Amino acid sequence: MTQIHDVVVLGGGPSGLAAAIALGARGRSVVVLERGRLGRPRVGETFGPEIEPHLATLGVREVFRAEACVPFRGVRSAWGSAEITARPSIVHPLGEGFHVDRARFDAMLAGAAAERGVVLREETGVPTIEEAAEGFFVRSRDGVEVRCRFVVDASGRGAPAGAVGSSARRWVACDRTIAILARMTPPEGRDVEPELLIESAEEGWWYVAPQPGRKLFCVLLTDADLTAGAPRAEPLERFRAALERTNHVRALAEGCTIDEPPRVVRADVGMLVPGRGARWCAVGDALVAGDPLAGDGVARGFHSAIEAATDIDRALAEGADALPEAATDAAAFLAGHLDRRARYYGMEPRFSEALFWKRRQAFDWQAAPIGLDPRVTLRWDGREPDPHAIAPIEALVPPKALASVLDFLRSPRAAHEALAALRSAAPLGDRRLLVGLEGLVALGIVNEEAVSALRG
């Protein structure tokens, strides 16, 4: 039997539930399809105070305030130095934030959505989506079919198979970041301090966040390929070994019990291109995902979800077939975010030769001179570049975009054609891409062969 709804939301995380709440509050018929089950630990458990205005807009601030939270009263970090630097939240203009249990937080949002008439279906798997007259047919793994006018993709980083717009859209991943996370229980009698601990290490960086119920959330951010070649030990053994190489995180974790084996989740910076199409849009990390160091993913996800809900509601009221362009330019945001990331990662000089850090410490591309003749012929000889040699270029240009342009240059091409190929793979601004292309030439990864004759 086919169900009929105004909107199908793919994903039951904060962004998807926020979009559902906002649409349900406007009287729209909404179903949320969550491919897994709510309740599992997720990253994104520390909120700055900027989350509160969004909670108020959604009408859930008081419900949230009644939930068990640990106040977010500051950050202790060993970043750029082995010594700890403390930054209390009192210096933030909006005051202190919150450490939350994400399972409980998401359940709170799901309850608020249900109160507004939203239907939530869990363990639906990745749905198949077919275009239909005036909308879509969405079929879940358990055989339920939904006909809808609009689809909101809140499925997180990447582009799952079967997703709406999959024939035209692509995920532009700017790095290979993964998060290895574990929930810990401190020994009896030890207080859990309401502060976030951050510590950099050669293979990445760690954070430890307090949780309600005397728990600690301990997370290592690193690159997927840096762990792929590690000895084939159990995940728990590898996690403990990496933990032993830290100082402050190790001291905080001493005596703690790891509640369950560590899990690995995606944490790459990136964006979806395009982020909107005919009768669909992406929100939250499915639209644009920032570096976890920024700590603002849920707040940004709420913002995009509320914006999308407003646009969809207006389109439904007017009988429109498409949504307007998003008020927030995802590509411009991501380009600026990458520059801010480079500044913060550049503040850690101790591991500047380590691959994880070289990939994130971009040189000043805005001041770099450009001398590449657009008519020059470029060619890649097929030799795989040394990861350490190409790492500074990856700080500017996404690694998959670099791989695609190298493949494009297996045959001699004019420089302007190579730039166009880069632009197609990663629309992050021509100057950034051109400096990255010149870097490939300067490093000898790409060779200049000749200057093409002028055409026409």
74 CB-near residues (< 8 Å, 6+ apart): 86, 87, 88, 89, 90, 194, 195, 196
Secondary structure (DSSP) of 376-400: EEEE--SPPPPHHHHHHHHTTS-HH
Q: What stretch of H or E contains 182?
A: strand 177-185
Buried-exposed string 310-322: b where 16+ CB fall within 10 A, e elsewhere: ebbbebbeeeeee
Q: Which of 114, 109, 97 is nearest to 45 (CA)?
A: 97
Q: Which of 177, 181, 165, 104 is nearest to 130 (CA)?
A: 165
Give the pLDDT of residue 187. Answer: 93
Q: Facing residues of 199 across strands? A: 78, 206
| Mean pLDDT in consecutive groups of 10 residues from the start of the chain, 456 residues | 91 96 98 85 80 95 85 88 79 65 91 96 88 88 88 87 69 94 92 90 95 91 82 73 95 93 93 92 95 91 96 95 88 92 94 96 88 91 94 94 96 95 93 94 90 48
Q: Facing residues of 108 across strands? A: none
Longest Cα–Cα distance in the chain: 80
Give the pLDDT of residue 454. Answer: 43
Give the pLDDT of residue 88. Answer: 63
The count of other CB atoms within 10 Å of the CB of residue 388 is 12
DSSP label of 279: T
Q: Facing residues of 33 across strands? A: 10, 121
